Chain A
Amino acid sequence: MVMIMDNVIDIQNVNLWYGDHQALFDVSMPVQKNKVTALIGPSGCGKSTLIRSINRMNDLIDGCRVEGRMMFHGEDIYGPGTDVIKVRKKIGMIFQKPNPFPMSVRDNITYGPKIHGITDKDKLEEILEKSLREAALWEEVKDRLDKSAMSLSGGQQQRLCIARTLAVSPEVILMDEPTSALDPIATSKIEDLITELVKEYTVVIVTHNMQQAARISDYTGFMYIGEMVEFDKTDKIFQNPSKEMTDRYISGRFG
């Protein structure tokens, strides 16, 4: 798009199949550094498939095949020499339903760093506090770090999952409908958090909430039946999109 150099991720002509079923058709999209990129579109349009393919979550699905180039800092995420674990460390993911591990708040956060080889207690404590602060959760849980994460509210659990992702120092955070299971207050906290996070990280978010996409994102891609119909600056997409279909979808005429 505007400055090629600033693209952390560059998706180029990606086609994706689940067995015989083609789910993505020649999709291209840049993801700019320190920006929020939103993906919108009706259910089944391929936006979750696209976001999941960015950190190779689709590898876990039998018969999934990807063609085209998906570049992360100029290196193909699907290249033969790619370390998938490293990709998923650098590109974290948040899901619709908060999915904390059934363990303490502390262990949820330190689990990732430990897996990646950090054993120093002070270092882990530092990561714990830093991650929880960045996820705007520290003040709420600092006195119950050893309590089960399952005892937190839905909104707190989701922020915990974000903190858990931050603990392994990612560059990009993918969010697949991160607030659709949350109440309006918890939703607004996550939105505020995304606005803060993007100063340090790059965010790609799938959302069904049009106003949310309009509020928090810098760029928006509208997808329909596996194709990227329109990709542009968010203000343009929500005020005066180039394609009639985008206008019709956002205004609720179909989908």
Chain B
Amino acid sequence: MRMKRFIEDLNNLVGTTNGFGNLVLSMAERSVYAMNNLDAEVAKSVMDDYAQVDYLDGLIEEEALRILMLFQPMVSDMRMVAVILKTITYMERIGKYCYNVAKAVIYLSDAGVKRSYKNISAMGELAVDMIRMVTETMKDRDITRFEEISAKDQKMDELRDLVLNKSVEYMSRDPCCVDVCTYFISISKFFERIGDHACKSAEKITYMVNGKRVNYN
């Protein structure tokens, strides 16, 4: 009976965590779309969803702690609950960065900006890819997917440097575009941070799957 309840509760926890991952992935996809198209409406929907991220983060944490208290999970179950507790924090942060991207998009759209940088779009695509790697692996435990995550993270860092250098160049040429460029720099920083959090999540999920500590950063 105790075991049956434990397995049910654990499955529910995993289910809610996967739902949380799907929500964050969807926010990332929409924030990238909003940025590419300077679409304030879509950006607004991302910002609205953050409340749900905050709620789920708290809910999952509470549920995981309840499972720890009631069942004291061991070995692979313990790794799973511990990794869920860590990963939701990374996912919540990713959700917050999507929110920040969306907020910046609304500002840019209001400022009459019509198109984004190509390199920022590429960063957005990378961010979505990396989050998808994490959410998919959380479901099917196929950690071979993470073989590419370090390379993607490195690419992300290179693109951020390019965006920064280019923006500085624009700003020094035309001080009028300082505010717009500052927002673009911020967006590139948000995507770069999303990449870092995705890498940390991937490290934890690898530990959940095979008990081994790895470093993807």
Query: Which residues of A does B touch, CB under 8 Å?
Result: 210-211, 214, 238-241, 246-247, 250-253
Q: In the assembled complex, how far is the CB of residue A242 from the closest CB belonging to chain B, in whole angstroms?
A: 10
Interface bin, chain B: 10 to 19
Q: Is A250 within 8 A of B211, CB to CB?
A: no
Assembly CA distance A251 to B77 (angstroms): 7
With contacts A239-B211, A240-B211 known, is A251 near B72, CB below 8 A?
Answer: no
Assembly CA distance A250 to B211 (angstroms): 15
Q: Ordered nearest first, which 6 A-B pairs have the shortest CB separation?
A: A240-B211, A250-B74, A247-B75, A251-B77, A251-B74, A250-B75
Q: In the assembled complex, how far is the CB of residue B196 from the closest CB belonging to chain A, in whole angstroms?
A: 26
Q: Is B72 within 8 A of A241, CB to CB?
A: no
Chain A residues in 8 Å Cβ range of B73: 251
Q: In the assembled complex, how far is the CB of residue A59 from the closest CB belonging to chain B, in whole angstroms?
A: 36
In the complex, 28 of the A-B residue pairs with CB atoms within 8 angstroms, ordered by the A residue number, are A210-B74, A211-B74, A214-B74, A238-B78, A239-B75, A239-B78, A239-B79, A239-B211, A240-B75, A240-B79, A240-B210, A240-B211, A241-B75, A246-B75, A247-B75, A250-B74, A250-B75, A251-B73, A251-B74, A251-B75, A251-B76, A251-B77, A251-B78, A252-B2, A252-B3, A252-B6, A252-B74, A253-B3
Assembly CA distance A115 to B80 (angstroms): 55
Assembly CA distance A210 to B75 (angstroms): 11
Q: Is B74 within 8 A of A238, CB to CB?
A: yes
Q: Which residue, B72, B73, B75, B76, has most C-beta atoms of chain A within 10 A?
A: B75
Give the interface SS of chain A, mostly helix, strand, loop or mixed. helix
Residue of chain B at shortest CB distance from A214: B74
Q: In the assembled complex, how far is the CB of residue B176 from the closest CB belonging to chain A, in whole angstroms?
A: 58
Chain B residues in 8 Å Cβ range of A251: 73-78
Assembly CA distance A25 to B78 (angstroms): 31
Assembly CA distance A214 to B79 (angstroms): 15
Could you give, for residues 1-15 of chain B, a 1 whenever the CB lies within 8 Å of some chain A CB and a 0 otherwise? Answer: 011001000000000
Could you give, for residues 30-73 of chain B, a 1 whenever the CB lies within 8 Å of some chain A CB and a 0 otherwise? Answer: 00000000000000000000000000000000000000000011
Assembly CA distance A211 to B79 (angstroms): 15
Residue of chain B at shortest CB distance from A211: B72
Contacts of B171-217 to chain A: CB distance below 8 A: 210-212
Chain B residues in 8 Å Cβ range of A252: 2-3, 6, 74
Contact of A238 among B3, B75, B210, B212 (CB under 8 A): B75
Residue of chain A at shortest CB distance from B76: A247
Residue of chain B at shortest CB distance from A253: B3
Assembly CA distance A252 to B77 (angstroms): 10
